[in-house]
Amino acid sequence: MLRRATASIRSQVVILMYHRVFEASSDPWELCVSPKHFGEHLELLRRHYQVLSLHELVRLLRDGQLPKRGVVLTFDDGYADNLWNARPLLEKYETPATVFITSGSIDSPTEFWWDGLQRTLLHPKTLPKHLQLSVQDRLYEWPVTSSEDRQRAYAAIHQILQPLKPSNRNQVMNDLLAWSEMDPMARSDYLPLATTELIQLAQSEFVDIGAHSVTHPLLAGMSQANQTAEIAGSRQKLEAILGCPVDTFSYPWGNLTSETVEIVKAAGFEIALTSDGKAVEVGANPFRLGRFGVGDWGREKFKQHLNSFFLA
Ligand SMILES: [Zn+2]
């Protein structure tokens, strides 16, 4: 009991992890928060919490002084809706946020592979009854008649594709799109940011840009040289586009080893965020700060979750 009472008044900062501000019809990974709900989140945060930018958090951590109910907002991946749907609300509520960009997806005409996979299998479209896929010389087969079948195939293929090299994964995605007879071009509301949009997003006084690797890989399974190319490469590309320093990083899939942390430090970043659900306290390692994913919650549900994050 005593521990709990002490915990509730500890100085803590909760870092929230968003991906998209978008009204989705199918969202298996809960990446989308509707614009209405996002506005409600910001209104509540402005009223009852101290919202900090990530750079303010870096400074406060360095000084060993954190507020009692601090919150930092972040977005991962770099969807175009961060400009069109999130930026206007961040400005309306004067709330800072950092957007982490997968630099290799800037200007991409195709969707992030996880969205493309969702579109081919979970979209309510008539599909052939069977799916056969050859992945790196292995043949896989799934029935896809019922929606349960489709869900199962989706989850299995997600797991198979996640560790693949981009070139191998693109090959499988092309096979899948051909099999499903879908347009390989992205749905207009599933696009990553284009260069011009990224520049426009960064121009907002309430938005900072951070790096999120080049190709969104599982960094922990890669060689040191390849991790460096992903981590330092994303920083270089973003700095070249924006003409200003990019010194914050978020680990794709929250996946890292201690070697990854050293590479992030060596690449000149000041802070790096994982996806471990833990609040930031004085003395926290700035290269392993935890975050909490946010779902498409209304005001009350958001408030409840937020309270539970602070007690974590
Ligand atoms: Zn990501």
Question: If you average pLDDT over every residue of the chain, what do you get?
Answer: 93
What's the 208 CA to ligand 1 centre distance in angstroms? 16
- Does residue 23 surpass a pLDDT of 60? yes
What's the 116 CA to ligand 1 centre distance in angstroms? 15
- Does residue 268 surpass a pLDDT of 90? yes
- At residue 28, the pLDDT reads 79
Cα–Cα distance for residue pair 210/82, rounded to 1 Å? 13
* Mean pLDDT within 174-191: 89
What's the 234 CA to ligand 1 centre distance in angstroms? 13
* Mean pLDDT within 83-111: 97
H or E element in which residue 258 lies: helix 258-266
Query: Tokens 């008539």 identify what position?
Result: 126
- At residue 126, the pLDDT reads 80
- At residue 308, the pLDDT reads 95
Name the pLDDT band for 202 (thresholds 50, 70, 90): very high
Name the percent of the chain in helix, strand, coil, to the closest 5. Answer: 45, 20, 35
HEC profile of 82-129: HHHHHHHHHHHCCCCEEEEECHHHCCCCCCCHHHHHHHHHHCCCCCCC
Name the pLDDT band for 129 (thresholds 50, 70, 90): confident
Please give the distance of CA 42 from its chain centroid, rounded to a whole number: 18
Name the pLDDT band for 30 (thresholds 50, 70, 90): confident
- Does residue 78 surpass a pLDDT of 80? yes
- At residue 7, the pLDDT reads 47
Cα–Cα distance for residue pair 169/187, rounded to 1 Å? 19
Q: List the beta bridge partners of residue 142.
A: 131
* Mean pLDDT within 157-186: 91
What's the 115 CA to ligand 1 centre distance in angstroms? 12
What's the 24 CA to ligand 1 centre distance in angstroms? 18
CB 252 within 8 A of CB 213: yes
Mention every residue, 6+ apart, whose C-beta is less than 8 A from residue 96: 51, 52, 53, 54, 56, 73, 90, 206, 207, 208
- Does residue 159 surpass a pLDDT of 80? yes
What's the 306 CA to ligand 1 centre distance in angstroms? 21
What's the 293 CA to ligand 1 centre distance in angstroms? 11
CB 251 within 8 A of CB 274: yes
H or E element in which residue 73 lies: strand 70-77
DSSP 221: G
Mention every residue, 6+ apart, whose C-beta is less than 8 A from residue 148: none
What's the 253 CA to ligand 1 centre distance in angstroms? 6
CB 230 within 8 A of CB 212: no
What's the 51 CA to ligand 1 centre distance in angstroms? 22
What's the 254 CA to ligand 1 centre distance in angstroms? 8
What's the 30 CA to ligand 1 centre distance in angstroms? 13
Name the pLDDT band for 10 (thresholds 50, 70, 90): confident
Measured CA to CA in angstroms, residue 255 lies from 58, 193, 198 at distances of 22, 23, 25
Query: Tokens 């870096």 identify what position?
Result: 58
* Mean pLDDT within 276-281: 96
Residue 18 backbone class (left: φ over 0; alpha: ψ -120 to 50; beta: rest): beta
What's the 20 CA to ligand 1 centre distance in angstroms? 11
- At residue 3, the pLDDT reads 53
* Mean pLDDT within 97-118: 95
Residue 178's CB: how many other CB atoms inside 10 A? 11
- Does residue 4 surpass a pLDDT of 70? no
Cα–Cα distance for residue pair 299/36, rounded to 1 Å? 10
What's the 230 CA to ligand 1 centre distance in angstroms? 13
229-256 pLDDT, tens digit per residue, is: 999 999 999 999 999 999 999 999 999 9
What's the 28 CA to ligand 1 centre distance in angstroms? 15
What's the 99 CA to ligand 1 centre distance in angstroms? 11
Where is average pLDDT lowest: 82-91, 116-125, 199-208?
116-125
Name the pLDDT band for 311 (thresholds 50, 70, 90): confident
What's the 71 CA to ligand 1 centre distance in angstroms? 20
- Does residue 270 surpass a pLDDT of 90? yes
292-303 pLDDT, tens digit per residue, is: 999 999 999 999
What's the 291 CA to ligand 1 centre distance in angstroms? 13
Query: Tokens 């029935």 identify what position?
Result: 143
